[in-house]
Amino acid sequence: MRAWWPRIILRPKVRLSRPKFRMPTRPPDTVIFGLMLIAVLFVLGGNVYTLVRTPPAIAGSSGGTPILVAPGLDVQLGMEGVVASVVIFVGVIGLGLIYYGSKYVFQPGYATRLMILGIIMSGVAFLIFSYLWAIKTGQL
């Protein structure tokens, strides 16, 4: 038996199905790597110590000039952790560029530029850390 439909109303030919609920997919590997890198930089920069001890962000000397790196190994200011994290990040990017440049065997000019930039970035990070260490231990 056929239902009566006026000619102005068109019966849609759509089949509705039930929605399928699935578990969410895993986030992309680059997102996971980025979050892990940020967490490692946070810990290596000494920011956990800064959060626990709650030191002042900027200290002052007896003359009133600001001190951004506190001398002594048992003291850390707020900015020191941030600066250390940024310097570690620059060094890691430099090492990553050295590794990435080694993949371009058939493009030696591009590979050389990447490796030189990576060496410069890693070297600058090392020199900055050496300078900060000399301030912390009182050698400078």
Q: What is the pLDDT of residues 83-138, one digit of tens each?
A: 889 999 999 999 999 999 999 989 999 999 999 999 999 999 999 999 999 988 88
Query: Could you identify the residue written with the tokens 């490796």?
Result: 115
Query: Could you identify the residue written with the tokens 């990040």?
Result: 89
Q: What is the pLDDT of residue 65?
A: 79
How would you class 44 by CB atoms within 10 Å of its CB: exposed for 0-12, middle for 13-18, buried for 19 or more?
A: middle
What pTM value is reported for the model?
0.70
Q: What is the pLDDT of residue 96?
A: 93
Q: How far is residue 85's CA from residue 40's CA, in Å, rounded to a whole number?
A: 9
